[in-house]
Amino acid sequence: MNVNSCRIIELPKITDSRGNLTFVEGDIIPFDIGRVYYLYDIPAGSERGGHAHKALHQFLVASSGAFKVHVEDGKNRKTFSLDRPYFGLYIPPMLWRTLDDFVTGSVALAIVSARYDEDDYFRDYSEYCRYVSTQ
Ligand code: TYD
């Protein structure tokens, strides 16, 4: 898997004078939704992520605020800025990712393909690089 497999997906936006509405469902993102979680109350200067997933597909949205997502495949690195609730970043499995540069009050919404499983993580960067170099 390489960083060029990541892509920004524009989500439907139902504009309304009472407030806009955006939704995510199965045919908008390239995997079946298995879990949703979100990061919030993120102190300035924090970095999240810092791992890769073996099989998990992920879709990240700045549902409030803004932050950056850096993805790496062992050779190349790419940075995406998320700053609208109607754009999200699709990250396939086997990419190292870190999230940083959070604007105060940001909420990072993660829609992913499976239940939480610690065995699905690479948490050690050298181990991850060693593994991808053999693939
Ligand atoms: P982690 O995935 O490392 O967070 P992030 O990538 O956002 O920085 O998870 C942080 C901790 O939370 C870790 O101890 C595992 C736990 N956790 C769960 O119990 N369930 C979940 O769905 C997630 C995403 C994390």
* For ligand 1, mutation pick of 38, 46, 48, 61 (most atoms within 8 Å of CB): 48
Q: Decide whether any atom of ligand 1 lies within 6 Å of the 39 Cβ.
A: yes
Query: What atom of ligand 1 comes closest to residue 108's alpha carbon?
Result: 7
| Residue 21, pLDDT score | 98
Q: Decide whether any atom of ligand 1 lies within 6 Å of the 23 Cβ.
A: no
Report the C-alpha gap between 130 and 115 in whole angstroms. Answer: 26
| Residue 26, pLDDT score | 84
Residue 135, CA distances (Å) to 58, 104, 118, 126, 128 in order: 21, 39, 22, 15, 11
Q: Decide whether any atom of ligand 1 lies within 6 Å of the 49 Cβ.
A: yes
Each residue's pLDDT expressed in tens, for the chain with a length of 135 residues: 899 999 999 999 999 999 999 999 989 999 999 999 999 999 999 999 999 999 999 999 999 999 999 999 999 999 999 999 999 999 999 999 999 999 999 999 999 999 999 999 999 999 999 999 998
* Helix-then-strand count for the chain, H and E: 1, 12
* Spacing, Cα 24 to ligand 1 middle (Å): 22
